[in-house]
Every structure is written in structure tokens, then in C-alpha cells.
Amino acid sequence: MTRTTIGWLTGSLVHARPLTKSARSLTFEVPGWPGNAAGQHVDIRLTAPDGYQAVRSYSIASVGAGEDIELAVDRLPDGEVSPFLVDDLELGDQIELRGPLGGWFVWRPEQRAPIQLIAGGSGVVPFVAMLRAHAASGCSAPMQLLYSLRTPDDALFRDELVRNSARTRTTWHYSRAVPPGWSRAAGRLTTQDLRAETLPPEDLPLTYVCGPSGFVEAVASGLVELGHSADNIRIERFGGN
């Protein structure tokens, strides 16, 4: 069980690596960080020289105890915070963090129901934490991921997802461009896709959906149409950063 820190902590950037042309993995050392469950998020606060402050929430890709936390940030051209984190933050720079936050959109090893993860774009980040926790725990309950993204070049953590495919099945879906030789044309995720590429309702899976608001609403509606109970669908949506 993790606790939430009271007030803001200071984190120092200790590792950074590109994930795509517009996304970056950022690992911070945060003294006093209490650890986090898979699926939780953190608030980040940036303060300008004139005192103006901007606060944004980001899902945590790392999981468990320890004072290092990994985030993955995708740059939005009109964002206030994400361009700075992706383009300007350097090793040793410090930011303020508060968390971990959220106790509903989480996966814990003691859960035994089959798990279906459905991600849109950078909504895959909390699922990376869940997949890592699932692998580390040795949990025998099945867990699989359906990852919908615009093009193959937009995939976050692609190498890790491919590497772990022997344990956890990842199904890729592309809405704008597909890899050479792909078996189907690019297009939005449909109810028929959900029927073919996710665990069926008779398996009684707990389904997590994360991504932009429109994506999350369409997927949740499609799942209910297929016969999934709304009580077994957990959603997390995001907007601009």
C-alpha cells in the first residue's frame, strides 16, 4: 500500500531518453517519494521567473518502492508544460512533484481477474507500469494490451512491449498509417475491432481504457455494446499539457 505525500517534493532529473520524435522518458530522483502503485499519476508544478505557475498531471511508468520515478511525456505544440519537459529540461534540473495520486485506476498483484488494457497514444504510460508490475509479481492472471496509435513511429516503449510479448500479448492498431505489409488499412478503432482484439465479455475481464477523451468514450461505449458490464470498465482520459 502506498501513501500520498503531503505537499510538494523536489525531484532532480537523473536520466532521460527519447521515446519518439515528440516524446521523452524522464526519470527523477525524488527524496521522500513513498513509492506508487501501477496506474497512479503525479502532479508536476513549474514556476516561471515572474512567479507564474503551471500544474499538470502525468501518469507514472515506473512502479513500486524507491525514490526514482519514471514519466513519459509527449510534446503538445500548444502546451505550456510538455514542450519544456521534452525539449528543455536537462540532467540535474529540478522540478516540483506531488503524489502519488489516484487509487481507482490502478492494478495490484492480488487482483485475479483477467485484465484487458486499451491505450490510445500516450495513454499507454500507466499500462507500462501495470505490465511491469504484472511481470515482476509473477501473477498468473492473464493481462493483454490493445495499443491504438496514429502511426508506427508514434509508439511509446515499443521495444519493451515487443520484448515482453512472450508473456503479455500486445495488439497494435494504427489510425493514420500502417507498417509495410500490414494486414488491414489504417482507421479508427471500431466496435468490430474490439470484438476481435480484446478479451470477450464472458471472460469477465476488468478493462482499463486510457487516452484522449473522444477515444475513451468511443471505446467504453463499444465495450458496453459488446456486453461488458460498465462496472468492469475503468477509464482515464487526458487533455492538453
Strand, helix or coil at 203?
Answer: helix
pTM to 2 decimal places: 0.95
The per-residue DSSP string of 3-30 comes to: -PPSS-EEEEEEEEEESSSSEEEEEEE-
Task: Of 82, 78, 79, 97, give the one whose Cα is nearest residue 13.
Answer: 97
109 beta partners: none
Sequence-distant (≥ 6) Cβ neighbours of residue 152 within 8 angstroms? 172, 174, 177, 178, 179
Residues 130, 133, 134, 136, Cα dihedral to 10°: 160
Tell me the CATH architecture of domain 115-238. Answer: 3-Layer(aba) Sandwich (3.40)
pLDDT tens profile 174-226: 999 999 999 889 999 999 999 999 999 999 999 999 999 999 999 999 999 99
Average pLDDT for the chain: 94
User: Do 9-101 and 115-238 show the same overall fold?
Assistant: no
Task: Of 113, 104, 91, give the one whose Cα is nearest residue 14.
Answer: 91
CB-CB contact of 206 with 180 (8 Å): no
27 beta partners: 15, 70
State the pLDDT confidence band at 166, using cuts at 50, 70 and 90: confident
Protein fold of 9-101: Elongation Factor Tu (Ef-tu); domain 3 (2.40.30)
State the pLDDT confidence band at 239, using cuts at 50, 70 and 90: low
- The alpha carbon of residue 183 and the mean position of all alpha carbons in its chain are separated, in whole angstroms, by 26
Residues 135, 140, 141, 144, Cα dihedral to 10°: 40
Domain ranges (residues) in the chain: 9-101, 115-238
pLDDT at 165: 83
Per-residue pLDDT, averaged over 13-37, amounts to 97
